[in-house]
Amino acid sequence: MEKNTDKIALVTGGSRGLGRDMAIQLAQKGFDVIITYHSNQEAAARVVEEVKASGRMAVALKLDVSKSSDFDAFISKVNECLINDFGMSRIHSLVNNAGTGLYAPFVSTTEAQFDDMVNTHLKSAFFLTQKLLPLLSDGGSIVNISSGLARFSSSNYSAYAIMKAAIESLSRYQALELGSRKIRVNTVAPGAIETDFAGGFVRDNKDLNQYLASATALGRVGLPDDIGSVVAFLCSDEAKWVNAQRIEVSGGFHI
């Protein structure tokens, strides 16, 4: 285990799926962890206990990333948490992971659905990061989560996928403008993963799972720990010279 003494990572959407594994893998790298959850407090509490079982500290805070009006109150909670629970004043790493899927044809996607994608994926990564900057250490790390769908196209994902394409552009601009503080910003773009995302579509649909595996060079779909380990690496000092990069973690899908 790499020792990251007194380093704290904040992972949005850390109560399940990829976020859960990110939190656990960060703990294995020596990070203490703050996770956010949308509504499932029990699931978040289980992740906290898993992190603590590995010997690191963890706290779960409630946050709906689609509501930017709540960000100021959340920042205050993070600040209080850092002081009272960790005895610290800064986080080292931020992982903008929280999100929801949308499977809808371009011709019938509603403005309300589109706006929800903007608020959940793009506006949150822009403004939550902006508001967290005073609490982010110089020399820290930001990881924004994109999707393989920003590189290749698949029907009925237009609103979701273009948000992820925007996230990749945002990451480069953040890396450029935060470079004076030696803050690294990178993007991780997962391929198809077996989680409960989008109702467990990839995990539970056997035909789809087999098709995705057949189109992947390594012959299977992804698992959460395929992603979490890459995120933990990018937050660590092992990736100290990796900046403004898009890393697709898809096993070689559609290459």
Reference 165, options 143, 153, 149, 178; nearest CA is: 149
Per-residue confidence (pLDDT) for residue 247, from 0 to 100: 98
Cα distance between residue 76 and residue 82, in whole Å? 10
Under a CB-based contact definition with an 8 Å cutoff, are residues 83 and 91 in contact? Answer: no
Per-residue confidence (pLDDT) for residue 195, from 0 to 100: 65
Q: At what angle do helices 71-81 and 124-132 cross, to 10 degrees?
A: 40
Share of the chain above pLDDT 90, in %: 86
Name the DSSP class of 104: -
Element spanning 184, H or E:
strand 184-190
**Residues 57, 69, 177, CA angle at the centre, nearest 5°?**
70
CATH number of 8-249: 3.40.50.720
Per-residue confidence (pLDDT) for residue 194, from 0 to 100: 82
Per-residue confidence (pLDDT) for residue 196, from 0 to 100: 64
Helices (H), 29-70: 41-53
Per-residue confidence (pLDDT) for residue 3, from 0 to 100: 45
Cα distance between residue 157 and residue 167, in whole Å? 15
Give pLDDT < 50 ranges for the chain: 1-4
Per-residue confidence (pLDDT) for residue 4, from 0 to 100: 45
Question: How far, in whole angstroms, is CA 95 from its chain's centroid?
Answer: 5
- Break the chain into its structural domains and give their ranges: 8-249
Whole-model pTM: value is 0.94
Q: Which residues are catalytic?
A: 146-147, 160, 164
